Amino acid sequence: GILQHPDGTVLKQLQPPPRGPREQDFYNKVYDSDCCDSVLLELREYLPKYFGVWSPPTAPNDTYLKLEDVTRKFNKPCIMDVKIGQKSYDPYASVEKIQQQVSKYPLMEEIGFLVLGMRVYHVSSDSYETQNQHYGRSLTKETVKDGISKFFHNGYCLRKDAVAASIQKIEKILEWFEGQKQLNFYASSLLFVYEGSCQATTMRLSDVTLAEKRGMPKGLLSGGDILEYNNNIHVINSTENGKIEASVSKGLSKFYALHKKAYSKRHHSQLSLKVENLEQGNMWKSSTCITQEHLNGNVIPQLEKVFCHMPAEIKESANVEVRMIDFAHVFPSNTRDEGYIYGLKNLITVLQNILDN
C-alpha cells in the first residue's frame, strides 16, 4: 500500500525486480535535472512529482519511491484509479501471464480501460462509499457508463463540473500521447481526484458583505445574522468572470431557521437564488424561489436543478486532478502507444456521454 510520510509526501514501496527498478528508472529519467527532452518535460505535468527514493532508518534495505500526495490539497477527496490500455500485460509477458491478465477482465481490449477502485464522498450522509476492483471487473459495455458515473455522484446530484474538468485533463494527456513515439505504457493507471466536500466558511449575511465578497446580486440576503456555513447551503468562491456556484449539504434546516428569522423582520415572503453566467455571448439564467411554504418541504430537487446541473461550460470551479501513475511496465518504443490512446479516447467518450445525458 501507499504510506504517508510526515513531510506530506507519499511512499510507494519498490516492487521486486524487474518491476520496481523499472519504475524507479522511469521516474529518474523523467525527473533527471539535466533532462532537456521536451516530450519528457511535458510528461512531468501529468505525473505526481518525484522526490527520489527513501528508506526508513530501521530498515535501510527497504526502498520506497517518494512521491507527491495528489490528494493532499483536498478536504474530502473523491478518488478513482482507472487502468488504461487495451492490454494489461507487457510485450515480454509469458503465455501464462497473458492468460492470467486476460481472464481477469476479458473486455479490456474492447473497452480500453478498467476501474480498479473508487472512493466517493457522499455529502448527504457525510460518509465515503468504496468500491474495489471486483466492482470494475463486473462492468460491461452496457453498464460501464453508469459504473463510472457513480464516482461523480455525491448523494445529492451528479457533479457535472467534475466530469467536465476530468475530460479536459484527459484530453491534455491524450494530446501528449498522440505527439510522442518514445514510450509505451502497459498496466498503467490514471488517478482521478476531486473535492467532494462543501468548504466551511463564515460569512455575515448583509447586502454589502455578500455583494463585495461573493459578487452575489444585491439584496439576495439581508439581516445582521452570522451564519456558520459548515454543513449548510453556501456559496463557493465566484470566478473572476462573476460566475457563481452554490451547493447543498445536509444541514439545510439551520439555514432555513435563520432565513425565516431574518425575513420575518423584513416581512419578505420569498428568497430568490439566481445563477448567471455569460455563455458564448448569451446570458444563461436559472432561478428558483423558496417561499415560506417551501421551507419545511422538499426543496432539495429545486436547488439541485439550479446548482448541480449547470452547463458543461461552467467547469473552471471544479477542483480536479488527473495524474498518470504506476510505471512498472513502461518500455522504449518507436511507435505511438495505440492501446493507451484507444483507452483514453474511449474513456473520454464515456465521460462525455455521462455529461450529455
DSSP code at position 219: T
Q: Is the pLDDT of residue 247 over 80?
A: no
Whether residue 174 contacts residue 196, with contact meaning beta carbons closer than 8 Å, is answered with no
Average of pLDDT values for 207-212? Answer: 38
257-288 pLDDT, tens digit each: 444 444 444 443 333 333 333 333 333 333 33
CB 78 within 8 Å of CB 194? yes
Q: Give all domains of the chain, ordered by start, each with its CATH number.
A: 1-69 (no CATH), 70-198+318-356 (3.30.470.160)
Query: In sequence order, what DSSP letters do the residues of 114-180 get, joined into one string?
Result: EEEEEEEEETTTTEEEEE-HHHHHT--TTTHHHHHHGGGB-SSSB-HHHHHHHHHHHHHHHHHHHT-
**357: pLDDT confidence band, cut at 50, 70 and 90?**
confident
Which one is predicted more confidently, 315 or 350?
350
pTM for this model (two decimals): 0.70
User: Nearest-CA neighbor of 92 among 330, 327, 324?
Assistant: 330
Give residue 248's identity as a one-letter amino acid code: V
Lowest mean per-residue pLDDT among 158-172, 200-214, 258-272, 310-324? 200-214
Residue 102 has pLDDT above 70, yes or no: yes
Phi, psi of 243 (to 5 degrees): -70, 135
At 293, list the grid cell: 411554504
Which candidate, 174, 173, 184, places its Cα nearest to that of 332? Answer: 184
3-state secondary structure of 1: coil
CB of 246 closer than 8 Å to CB of 208: no
Distance separating alpha carbons of residues 129 and 115, to the nearest angstrom: 15
